[in-house]
Amino acid sequence: MNKLKSVIWGSLVGLSLIFSQTNAAGLTYTYPLYPYSRDLSQTLTFKVMLRCALPEQTSNLDMALVLNYLRQIDCITRGIPKVVILGGFQKDGHDHTYPWWAPIDESFTAPGRRKGKEALVWLMEEAKKYNTTCTFHVNPFDAYMDSEKWSFYEENDLLCRNTDGSLVEGDVWWGRQSYFVNMVNEWNAGVTKQRIDEFLEELPLVKETGVLYFDNLTQYPASPKHRVTRADQITAIKKAAEYLKEEYDIQLIGEYADVNLYGFDCQGVTWDWNASLNINQMEVPAYIACGGRNLCHDDLLGEYSDISKRRLQVFGSSLQLEDIQFQQDVSKVVREFTHHTLPYFYMNRLLRQNLTNGSGYEMTLSLSDNVESRWEADNVHRLYRDGNLMKEDYDVFIPVYWVNHLEIMAYSYQGRQGKWTLPREWKDVKSVDIYEFNSSYYDVELKESNVAITDNQIDLTLAAGVARILVPAGTDVHDGTIYDNPASGEVEFLGEDRATQGDWKETYGSLGYDVFGASSSLPEGVVLEYIGDDLDIYDVGSSRREALQNPDEADGDRIEAVRTSKLHQIIDVQTDEKRMVSLYFADYKSRDCQMVVDVIDATTKRVLHSNLINSFQSGIYLKYNVDGHVQFRLTRFFYDGYGNPDYPVYSGVFIDEEGVSGQENITRENDNLRCYPSVFRDNLTIEADVFDSRQARIQIYSMTGSLLYDQTVDVVNQKVGLSLQKGDLGIPSGICIVSLVTDRHTLKKKIVCR
């Protein structure tokens, strides 16, 4: 097996300290690759095939016609942000030229006698007019003998091989045998970076889109001759994702989501959460990993209705539009959008609070804002808010929340007559105007004016397959979207403080505070609201320094209390002038808490600032200047390899004058631990970034707590690393925990020895 080049800077008995040059290029996103380039849980991501693999298949060679389709989709989706994944852009069409992602097919045309690449770039520029940016369907693993790069890959040993030296075969696509790229060898040879660089040099507008789609992402083919395992290939994919993020701020998305790529792959365009991925959606919110849909979860396309996949409606899923039938009949886009994406994106804005299973297939997902998503006893999915129906099977009555006015989209697959209750925000609306899409799907046209509202209800007639758009009478339906507006508030991160611990009285809270489990005193002009959490009081008489001083005790006991949730929670903050807001976090139970602390726009949910924190058993303050209306969103975030942390916790909020903390801001970089591969047979590489410590202690434990390895190593250039063999652990196989102990942190990773 080819090994990464390494730099050796020290020695241990029987071990070598190493640091991989592939990670020495200043990659700051080793894990996780968050915050993402864009929030795809609020971005419609769909596919369009340009040139198909076979001549007899229907292709999109006229970019003007593709643009017309994108214009229609923008009309139907009411201007929501969109990313279109273009497949078949390369010479000879879909699945050709691999393993290289170029050149661009010359048969494309566009106005102005544009051809080939020029025509494709024209489409990418024009699509922006319709709230759409473009990315491309590429494949990291597949290789074909008719590729211009085949000889290069074969001669440089960049293909997967069986033990006897024969090539590892993939599937036969479009009558052509595919083979697999050895991405470990490719990465080590620098060729992965080369194909990424050349592709983005050819199509630099992808950097504006901020995402790139990897097809067949979860194949991970082994190469027995090179002793490259599936886990090794996963590591190589992660390195490619790191490079895309660090060099180009491009986020990886894939055909599927995968626990192995948690924190790296932010979207699986095709997926089936529980059946194939074993990911619990009560552990992974949509803004961390979201997806499209598996066609088999309903019968709208003539597919089998598999009610065992009810989670795809209870939690929601989006649309793909990959099939040409949608372009040929855009009314089907309306059907897909209203039934799938509209409720999915609506639920994605809320907090997932609880999931319960009833008898049979019954399931209820409770969300913030008094919303429930239910699969009920009659095997029909329904969505409720305040107890009022919003969706029933293929009939919907759901707010279009991203436009700059009150709006509801209503749709019925088979037609429906009856009353719907309007949302609470509409309580003062007395009459509505009703619009429908015009025949070309370029705009909406007024159908009924001043339709009366009685007791916040409307008696509505929905013709089969026709969407109706309701707005308060007299509303300008072309007043833009919330994404056109400035953020709801401003935030400036001031740093972190690990020194003060629970002794806040002389340092924080000069204007106000809320110490959980004790008391609250907030200044005028500051409003706090806590959403989606519970208060847990551990100890009202603590003497530990990390416990917060009780504001009601002059010199007495401290208090250990937290607001916590199963997955995520929100602190809604509104200030009428700029104030310093400090949050205090303490993992009192030492349960390996790790969380993302996002500051988000209260309206669009866009991330304004993000911190990943862990190892805060001794307490940490995060300090911000805040002006206006923002939300702090705390999310349970798993360790690399989907390692299990405890629930998010925090213990208090403190308010001070702008930029005043009573001490110098203390900002430090986080220590970081990496293990390659996470599943290994022979060799394990441990690397870490260590700040503010001269030495680090590396320990490895069995799952039963037995100490298998213990070594103190010097920190050189803020790096440590070592390579050990399976025999160094003294066990034939099993799950182990790698622990890195520094002056500031204790970090842990789960590995599997086979």
The encoded tokens of residue 152 equal: 């290069």
Residue in this structure with the two tokens 């996002």, named with its chain if needed: 598
209 and 177 part of one domain: yes
Cα dihedral 82, 285, 746, 500, rounded to 10, equals: 90
Residues 407 and 527 in one domain: no
> Is 189 domain-assigned?
yes
178 and 94: one domain? yes
pLDDT digits (tens, 9 = 90+) for 561-578: 999 999 999 999 999 999
Average pLDDT over residues 581-590: 96
Looking up residue 529, the CATH number of its domain turns out to be 2.60.120
Domain count, the chain: 4
Q: Both tokens of residue 150? A: 């085949």
395-399/431-437 β-pairing? unpaired
Mean model confidence pLDDT for the chain: 89
| 44 and 131 together in one domain | yes
Rounded Cα distance, 517 and 537, in Å: 6
3-state SS track over 55-76: CCCCCCCEHHHHHHHHHHHHHH
**Does residue 104 fall inside a structural domain?**
yes
Q: Could you tell me if residue 63 is inside a domain?
A: yes
The answer to the question of residue 103 being in a domain is yes
Residues 203 and 190 grouped into a single domain: yes
Angle between helices 191-202 and 230-248 (to 10 degrees): 40
Same domain, 254 and 374: no
With H, G, I as helix, E, B as strand and everything else as coil, classify residue 291: strand
Pairing of strands 594-601, 607-614: antiparallel
pLDDT digits (tens, 9 = 90+) for 150-202: 999 999 999 999 999 999 999 999 999 999 999 999 999 999 999 999 999 99
Is residue 66 one of the residues assigned to a domain? yes
Q: Is residue 471 part of a domain?
A: yes
Same domain? For 197 and 284 the reply is yes
Tell me the CATH number at 374: 2.60.40.1180
Per the model's pLDDT, the better-predicted residue between 4 and 520 turns out to be 520
pLDDT score for 668: 45
Same domain, yes or no, for 171 and 265?
A: yes
Same domain, 113 and 132: yes
pLDDT in tens, 67-123: 999 999 999 999 999 999 999 999 999 999 999 999 999 999 999 999 999 999 999
Pairing status of strand 251-254 against strand 211-214: parallel
Does residue 69 share a domain with residue 172?
A: yes
Angular region, 278: left φ>0, alpha ψ -120 to 50, beta rest: left
Residues 500 and 613 in one domain: yes
Q: In terms of domains, do 602 and 620 share one?
A: yes
Establish if 342 belongs to a structural domain: no
**Residue whose pair of structure tokens reads 């100490």 in the numeric block:** 707
Confidence band, pLDDT 50/70/90 cuts, at residue 4: very low
393-432 pLDDT per residue, tens: 999 999 999 999 999 999 999 999 999 999 999 999 999 9
State which of 425, 449, 484 marks the end of a domain. 484
CATH number at residue 729: 2.60.40.1930
Q: Which of 592, 625, 657 is the last residue of a domain?
A: 657
Domain termination residue (choose one: 596, 631, 657): 657
What per-residue confidence (pLDDT) applies to 308? Answer: 65
Residue 223 is assigned to a structural domain of this protein? yes
Which residues span the domain enclosing 162?
A: 40-292
User: CATH no. for residue 288?
Assistant: 3.20.20.80
